[in-house]
């Protein structure tokens, strides 16, 4: 397994794929990170900027709202009906009251801000009268209202409008809920004596309608009065309590505008003082959560992975396709040396690979040509050598034969001597003078007979030689002196120390092959020795340069591997040499 992985990594396509994988990952990660980082900052800024506009709108709306409330309060203050109702030292008549009440209602109606026609306005007069603009009941006693904090504040500072957050308002619908009470004292212009206090109750919903378009999961809003108490917020639990948020301390004393707060939480804070309310408005943008929805990270990763995978697959496919001929080439090249340069490459694939295949095929051709040429040269050379060898007769043989003839001359056996000289002359002529490489069986038998005759004259008649030649093969051609070495070998090695014996030579044509067997009934040899006989030159006194050892080589050079020499022998079982060669007949002109 490990090796396979190694192979894959070291292969061409494996490396390209790996490189691509690393490259894609690197690009995906770096580009994503950089883009995310850049867009994060840009988004943060643009988001803060867009929210700033919204925030400014809230500031304006608050100011407008305050103006509207001021207008309502002015209406009450400047209305003769309300004045009469709230200031009257002597009670009005029933009819006057009937008309006055209607008049009050009408005037208030006309000056109520748009969208706030059910505004909860409670007016309590010093004279014990009270007026409520709505169809509901006041749940607090007259005296308790005068003792309440918003009224006290209004009385202490009669010139300004006071905003206060309260839990439980003055009326039934403001029970058990947090409301904002707007209070303002009404006083006589000259004496500055307070004659009434206007208390406007704003429900959470009414306040929220001023800023709810700013509020989302990421933004929150705090309206904080000068005593750090939260008047209004979408963060409901904080309403009516002191500001406790950790960012508040560091932001409180800075000027209006956009402030970045980075310790712990990544916040952008908008701050605006609302002097008409004696309050400060804080818009808090939680950048973490604002950005959270910006990116679908899993989708991003999925897209990257998908594209990456597609590119990888494509890359693997293409490189595989490109390098397939190369791998094929590699496989064939390693086989070539065993298969004798026959493995050609198909010419296909990219230009480079095609060129490579062409060149390789050409090279293969060249190598094959060189090798066959070389082989031919070698063969020619050997053939020439052998030809030279078969033309020469061992000088020792000549000396010894001449010495034997001399001895026979001394003996005076003229007839025998003459026969011997005739045989010797014939042998020499056939060997040296006849330049033909091939001779017929007849000629070869004649040569052998001459040779045997000389040998018998020299060494005695202990060994008999018999020829059995089929009639159909007498004119078959065979290389000159092919059989002589075997006969010589049998003479000298099969029958040591004057042992008598028989050599039989059979020749016949069989299925287009000439089969020659040379059998003796001598001492024979073991199979190791028999093998050596064909491969080594062990005789000292050869007739010619050709011995048993190069007969085989000669035949192979002439006819190919399917022809040759075979020796069968065993200790005291005689030796049988079989020579096979193609039957080629002499052509007579």
Partner 1 sequence: MNKIKTGMILFILITAVLSGCSDNKTEQAQKTVKTEAMEEVEVWLWDETFNVKAARMAAKIYEADNPGVNIVVRSREREEILSDIQRLLSAKMYDSLPDVIMMEDYDAQGVLSSFDEEFCELSDKVDYERFSEYKLRVCEWDGKRYGIPFDSGATALFYRSDILEEAGYTASDMADLTWDEFIEIGRDVYQKTGIPMITIDPTDMSLCRIIMQSCGRWYVKDDGTTPDIAENDALLGALKVYEKLIISNAGKSVNGWDDFISAFQKGEVAAVITGCWVVSNIKAVPEQSGLWRATQIPVLDENPDSVPMSNIGGSSWYVLKHGKNPEAAVDYVADMFGNNDEFMDILINEIGITPAVKNPAVYKSYEQTDPFFGNQRITKFLTEMTENIPPVNYGSSTYVIEDMVEEEYQNYFIDRRYEECLMAVESKAAAIMR
Of the two residues 322 and 440, which places its CB atom closer to partner 1 in the complex?
322
Of the two residues 166 and 243, which places its CB atom closer to partner 1 in the complex?
166
Of the two residues 326 and 477, which places its CB atom closer to partner 1 in the complex?
326
Q: Least Å distance between CB 121 and partner 1?
A: 11
Q: Least Å distance between CB 175 and partner 1?
A: 7
Q: Least Å distance between CB 102 and partner 1?
A: 4
Of the two residues 19 and 313, which places its CB atom closer to partner 1 in the complex?
313
Of the two residues 171 and 575, which places its CB atom closer to partner 1 in the complex?
171
Residues that bind partner 1 (CB under 8 A): 94-95, 97-99, 101-106, 117-118, 120, 130-138, 171-173, 175, 298, 302, 305-306, 309-310, 313, 316-317, 320-321
Q: Least Å distance between CB 292 and partner 1?
A: 16
Token readout for 127 is 């004279």
- Cβ within 8 Å of residue 567, ≥6 positions away: 530, 531, 533, 534, 575, 576, 577, 578
Of the two residues 273 and 309, which places its CB atom closer to partner 1 in the complex?
309
* Tally of CB atoms within 10 A around 54: 16
Of the two residues 204 and 585, which places its CB atom closer to partner 1 in the complex?
204
Please name which of 451, 480, 467, 304 lies closest in space to residue 390, comparing C-alpha atoms: 480
Q: Least Å distance between CB 100 and partner 1?
A: 8
- Cβ within 8 Å of residue 108, ≥6 positions away: 72, 75, 76, 79, 121, 133
Q: Least Å distance between CB 172 and partner 1?
A: 5
CA–CA dist 396, 410 (Å, integer): 21
Q: Least Å distance between CB 31 and partner 1?
A: 21
Q: Least Å distance between CB 89 and partner 1?
A: 18
* C-alpha dihedral sign at 347, 353, 359, 360: negative
**DSSP 8-class letter at 525:** -
- Find where tokens 């300004």 sit: 160
Q: What is the CA radius of gyration of the chain?
A: 66
Burial status of residue 474 (CB atoms within 10 A of its CB: 0-12, 13-18, 19 or more): middle
∠ CA(272), CA(274), CA(275), 5° rounding? 130
Of the two residues 95 and 351, which places its CB atom closer to partner 1 in the complex?
95
User: How many C-alpha atoms does 347 have within 13 Å on its Cβ side?
Assistant: 9
Residues found in the chain = 589
């Amino acid at each position: 397994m490990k090796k396979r992985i190694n192979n894959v990594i070291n292969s061409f396509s494996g490396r390209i794929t790996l490189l691509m994988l690393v490259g894609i990952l690197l690009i995906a990660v770096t580009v994503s990170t950089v883009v995310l980082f850049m867009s994060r900052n840009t988004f943060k800024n643009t988001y803060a900027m867009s929210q700033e506009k919204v925030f400014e709108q809230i500031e304006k709306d608050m100011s407008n709202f305050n103006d509207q409330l001021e207008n309502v309060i002015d209406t009450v203050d400047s209305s003769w009906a309300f004045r009469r109702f709230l200031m009257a030292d002597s009670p009005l008549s029933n009819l006057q009251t009937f008309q006055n009440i209607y008049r009050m209602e009408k005037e208030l109606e006309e000056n109520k801000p748009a969208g706030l026609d059910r505004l909860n306005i409670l007016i309590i007069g010093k004279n014990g009268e009270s007026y409520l603009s709505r169809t509901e009941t006041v749940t607090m006693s007259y005296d308790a209202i005068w003792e309440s904090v918003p009224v006290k504040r209004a009385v202490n500072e009669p010139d300004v409008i006071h905003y206060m957050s309260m839990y439980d308002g003055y009326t039934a619908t403001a029970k058990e809920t947090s409301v904002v009470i707007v209070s303002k004292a009404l006083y006589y212009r000259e004496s500055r004596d307070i004659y009434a206090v206007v208390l406007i109750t704003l429900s959470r919903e009414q306040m929220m309608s001023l800023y709810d378009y700013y509020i989302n999961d990421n933004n929150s809003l705090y309206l904080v009065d000068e005593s750090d108490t939260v008047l209004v917020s979408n963060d409901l639990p904080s309403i009516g309590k002191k500001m406790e948020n950790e960012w508040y301390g560091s932001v409180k004393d800075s000027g209006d505008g956009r402030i970045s707060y980075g310790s712990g939480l990544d916040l952008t804070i908008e701050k605006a003082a609302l002097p008409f309310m004696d309050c400060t408005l804080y818009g808090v943008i939680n950048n973490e959560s604002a950005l959270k929805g910006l990116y679908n990270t899993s989708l991003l990763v999925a897209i990257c992975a998908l594209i990456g995978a597609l590119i990888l697959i494509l890359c693997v496919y293409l490189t595989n396709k490109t390098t397939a001929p190369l791998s094929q080439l590699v496989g064939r090249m390693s086989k070539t040396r065993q298969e004798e340069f026959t493995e050609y490459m198909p010419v296909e694939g990219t230009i480079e690979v095609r060129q490579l295949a062409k060149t390789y095929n050409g090279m293969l051709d060249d190598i094959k040509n060189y090798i066959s040429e070389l082989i031919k040269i070698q063969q020619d050379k050997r053939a020439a050598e052998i030809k030279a060898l078969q033309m020469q007769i061992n000088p020792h043989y000549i000396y010894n034969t001449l010495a034997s003839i001399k001895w026979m001359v001394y003996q005076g056996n003229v007839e025998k001597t003459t026969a011997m000289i005739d045989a010797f002359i014939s042998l020499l002529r056939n060997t040296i003078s006849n330049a033909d490489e091939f001779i017929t069986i007849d000629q070869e038998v004649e040569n052998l007979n001459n040779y045997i005759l000389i040998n018998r004259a020299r060494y005695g008649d202990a060994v008999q030689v018999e020829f059995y030649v089929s009639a159909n093969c007498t004119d078959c051609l065979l290389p000159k002196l092919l059989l002589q070495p075997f006969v010589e070998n049998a003479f000298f090695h099969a029958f040591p120390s004057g042992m008598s014996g028989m050599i039989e030579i059979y020749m016949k044509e069989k299925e287009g092959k000439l089969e020659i067997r040379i059998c003796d009934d001598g001492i024979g040899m073991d199979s190791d020795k028999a093998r050596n006989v064909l491969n080594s030159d062990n005789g000292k006194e050869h007739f010619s340069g050709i011995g048993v050892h190069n007969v085989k080589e000669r035949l192979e050079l002439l006819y190919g591997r399917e022809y040759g020499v075979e020796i069968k022998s065993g200790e005291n079982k005689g030796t049988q040499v079989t020579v096979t060669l193609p039957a080629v007949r002499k052509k007579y002109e």
